[in-house]
Amino acid sequence: MHGGLCPLLLFNLPIESRGSCQSYVRFSRIRTRSGSPFTSSFFTFCGNRWTVPRKGSNPLAGYPPLIVVVDALDECSEADTIEFFLRALVHRAETVLGGYTSIRFILVSRPEPHIMNVINQSSAHCFVMELHRDVPRSVVMNDIRIHVEAGLQEMCTRRAWDTEWYTRDDIDFIVSGSEVLFIYASTALKYLQGALGNPKKRLQLIRDARNSDRSTMARPLEILYATILINLGRPDSLESFEVNDLRRILFILTFLLSPLRIADIANILELEIDEVRECLISLSSIALIPSRNDEHFQPVQILHVSFTDFLLSTSQHLPRHWKLDIKYHHRQLMGRCIRILVAELKEHILGHKINRRTHIDDVPIHLISSSIPPTLLYAARHWITHMRMSFPSPDDLLSSWEDDPTLPVFVNNFILRWLECLAWTKSLASVTRELQHPETLKILQVLVLSLLPG
- Count of other CB atoms within 10 angstroms of residue 426: 10
Please answer whether residues 110 and 74 qualify as being in contact, where contact means their C-beta atoms are separated by less than 8 angstroms: yes
Q: Which CATH class is domain 235-322?
A: mainly alpha
**Residues 420-435: tens digit of each pLDDT:** 999 999 889 889 888 8
| pLDDT score of 216 | 58
| pLDDT score of 422 | 93
> Closest Cα partner for 280 from 292, 376, 16?
292
pLDDT tier for residue 266 given thresholds of 50, 70 and 90:
very high
Q: Which residues pair with 278 in a beta bridge?
A: none
Question: How does the average pLDDT of the chain come out, rounded?
Answer: 76
pLDDT(144) > 50? yes
| pLDDT score of 39 | 30
Which range has the worst mean pLDDT, 7-11, 172-176, 231-235, 299-303?
7-11
| pLDDT score of 128 | 75
| pLDDT score of 110 | 76
Mean pLDDT of 271-277: 92
* CA 70 vs CA 6, 102, 378: distances in Å: 11, 17, 25
Mean pLDDT of 404-415: 84
Domain assignments of the chain as residue spans, ordered by start: 18-134, 137-212, 235-322, 327-451
pLDDT(394) > 80? no
| pLDDT score of 169 | 92
Mean pLDDT of 51-74: 57
Mean pLDDT of 125-132: 71
pLDDT(46) > 50? no
Q: What percentage of the chain reaches a pLDDT higher than 70?
A: 74
**Residues 275-297: tens digit of each pLDDT:** 999 889 888 888 889 988 998 98
| pLDDT score of 277 | 92
| pLDDT score of 16 | 31
| pLDDT score of 345 | 94
| pLDDT score of 58 | 52
Mean pLDDT of 384-401: 76
pLDDT(265) > 90? yes
101 vs 360, higher pLDDT: 360
Q: Which residues pair with 30 in a beta bridge?
A: 38
Alpha helices in 65-130 (DSSP H): 79-95, 113-120
Residues 349 and 365: their CA atoms lie apart, in Å, by 14
pLDDT tier for residue 217 given thresholds of 50, 70 and 90:
low
